[in-house]
A and B are shown apart, each in its own frame.
Chain A
Amino acid sequence: MTPHSINRDVRGTHTVAALCAYLVLGASVPNTTAQESALVRLTTAQYEHSVHDIFGKSIKIDGGIVDPGMRENGLLALGSRKLTLSAAALERYESLARQVATQVTDRRHRATLIPCKPQTETAPDPECASQFIDRAGLFLFRRPATNAEVQSYVSMAGSATETLGDFYDGLGAALVGMLVAPDFLFRVERTEPDPSQPDTQRLDAYSRASRLSFFLWNTTPDAELLAAAESGALDSDAGLQQQIDRLLSSRRSADGLRAFFSDMLGFDGFATLSVDASLYPKFTKNVADDAREQTLRTLVQHLLDKNADYRDLFVTRDTFLTPALAAVYGVPLPRSQELGGAVPWVPYRFPEGDPHVGLLTHVSFLSLHSHPGTTSPTLRGKAVRENILCQRVPPPPGDVDFSLVQDASDPAFRTVRQRLTEHRENPTCAACHRMTDPIGLTLEVFDTSGVYRTTENGAPIDTSGTFRRQPYADVVELVPILRNDPAVTSCLVNRAFSYGTARMPSTRELSWLFDTGAELMDTEVTWRDLMRRIARNEDFYTNVFD
Chain B
Amino acid sequence: MATIERPLRGPLICAGIVVLSVAGTSPSATAETRGYVISMIHTATHANTDTCPAGGNGGPVDIRTRRLVDAGFDNDEALRIIGNGGVDDNGTRVDITKLYGSSAPAGGQPWNGQPVSPGNVPALLADPVVETAQGRFAYGFDLDGQVSPDDFEDPDSHELGVDNHMWRVLGCFDVYRIRRPVVPYNESIVWDTAIDSMPAWLMSVSGENLDRDGDVTVTFDRSFNVLLRDAYGGVMSGATFVIDPDPRSHNVFKGTIKNQVLTIEPGDFSLQGESQFYAVLRFSQTQLRLQMDPDGSLRGILGGYQPWRDYYHYLAIRGESDGQVDLPGVYYAMKRLADGGPDIMTGENTEISAAYWLEAVPAFHVTTSGEVTGKSVGNGPKFSGPAASRLTTP
Contact = CB atoms under 8 A, between A and B. Distances in A.
A104 to B, nearest CB: 38
Interface stretch (A7-15, A59-67, A157-165, A279-287): A279-287
B218 to A, nearest CB: 20
Interface in B1-41: 9, 12-14, 16-22
Interface in B186-242: 197, 224-226, 228-232, 234, 236-240, 242
B230 A333 contact: no
Given A331-B20, A332-B364, A326 B240 contact: yes
Contacts of A335: 12, 225, 240, 242
B347 interface: no
A334 B242 contact: yes
Contacts of B13: 336
A348 B231 contact: no
Contacts of B383: 281
Given A330-B376, A339-B226, A346 B18 contact: yes
Interface in A272-299: 277-278, 280-285
Interface string B272-285: 00000000000000
Given A347-B18, A351-B21, A282 B394 contact: no
A395 to B, nearest CB: 31
B366 interface: yes
Contacts of A284: 229-231, 236
B370 interface: yes
B17 A332 contact: no
Nearest to A345: B14
A337 interface: yes
A199 to B, nearest CB: 56
A357 to B, nearest CB: 14
A: interface residue count bin: 20 to 34
Nearest to B385: A281
Contacts of A323: 225, 228, 239-240
Interface in A319-354: 323-324, 326-328, 330-337, 339, 346-349, 351
B: interface residue count bin: 35 or more
B301 interface: no
Interface string A302-328: 000000000000000010000110111
Contact of A334 (B22, B234, B366): B366
Given A277-B232, A282-B230, A335-B240, A349 B364 contact: no
Contacts of B238: 282, 326-328, 330
Contacts of A331: 20, 364
Interface in A473-529: none
Contacts of B393: 278
Given A281-B230, A284-B231, A333 B19 contact: no
A323 B18 CA distance: 13
A318 B18 CA distance: 10
A451 interface: yes
Nearest to A284: B231
Given A281-B382, A348-B18, A333 B240 contact: yes
Contacts of A334: 12, 14, 18, 20, 240, 242, 366, 370
Nearest to A350: B19
Interface in B347-380: 364, 366, 370, 372, 375-376, 379
Contacts of A324: 228, 236, 239
Interface in A441-456: 451
B197 A339 contact: yes
A349 B18 contact: yes
Contacts of B197: 339
Nearest to A333: B240
Contacts of B236: 281-282, 284, 324, 327
A324 B375 CA distance: 16
A339 B242 CA distance: 15
Given A332-B20, A334-B12, A327 B232 contact: no
Contacts of B240: 323, 326-327, 332-335
- Interface SS of chain B: loop
Contacts of A347: 14, 16-18
Interface in A254-283: 277-278, 280-283
Contact of B20 (A318, A328, A351, A451): A351
A331 B366 CA distance: 11
Chain B CB count within 10 A is highest, among A280, A284, A335, A339, for A335
A318 B17 CA distance: 8
Nearest to A321: B18
A346 B394 CA distance: 35
A333 B239 CA distance: 8
A284 B234 CA distance: 11
A281 B231 CA distance: 5
Contact of B228 (A283, A327, A346, A451): A327
B8 to A, nearest CB: 9
Chain A CB count within 10 A is highest, among B225, B234, B238, for B238
B231 A282 contact: yes
Contacts of A318: 17
Contact of A332 (B228, B232, B376, B394): B376
A332 B372 contact: yes
Contacts of B232: 277-278, 281
B103 to A, nearest CB: 24
Nearest to B232: A281
Nearest to B242: A334
A348 B21 CA distance: 12
Chain A CB count within 10 A is highest, among B12, B370, B372, for B12
Contacts of B230: 277, 281-282, 284
Contacts of A349: 17-19
A210 to B, nearest CB: 39
Contacts of B231: 277, 280-285
Contacts of A282: 230-231, 236-238
Nearest to A328: B238
Contacts of B379: 451
Chain B CB count within 10 A is highest, among A328, A336, A346, A349, for A336
B307 to A, nearest CB: 29
A291 to B, nearest CB: 13
B22 A332 contact: yes
Chain A CB count within 10 A is highest, among B14, B229, B237, B372, for B14
B241 to A, nearest CB: 9
B237 A333 contact: no
B364 A348 contact: no
Given A283-B231, A336-B13, A326 B239 contact: yes
Chain B CB count within 10 A is highest, among A281, A285, A337, A351, for A281
Contacts of A328: 238
A337 B22 CA distance: 22
Interface string A49-76: 0000000000000000000000000000
Contacts of B376: 330, 332
A284 to B, nearest CB: 5
A339 B9 CA distance: 14
A351 B231 CA distance: 28
Nearest to B13: A336
A131 B95 CA distance: 69
A348 B231 CA distance: 24
Nearest to A351: B21
Interface of B: 9, 12-14, 16-22, 197, 224-226, 228-232, 234, 236-240, 242, 364, 366, 370, 372, 375-376, 379, 382-383, 393-394
17 contacts: A277-B231, A281-B383, A283-B231, A284-B236, A318-B17, A324-B228, A324-B239, A326-B238, A328-B238, A330-B238, A332-B240, A332-B366, A334-B20, A335-B12, A336-B242, A348-B18, A351-B20
3 residue pairs, one from A and one from B, having the closest CB atoms = A277-B231, A332-B364, A336-B12
Interface of A: 277-278, 280-285, 318, 323-324, 326-328, 330-337, 339, 346-349, 351, 451
Given A335-B240, A348-B19, 4 more contacts: A283-B231, A284-B229, A327-B240, A349-B17
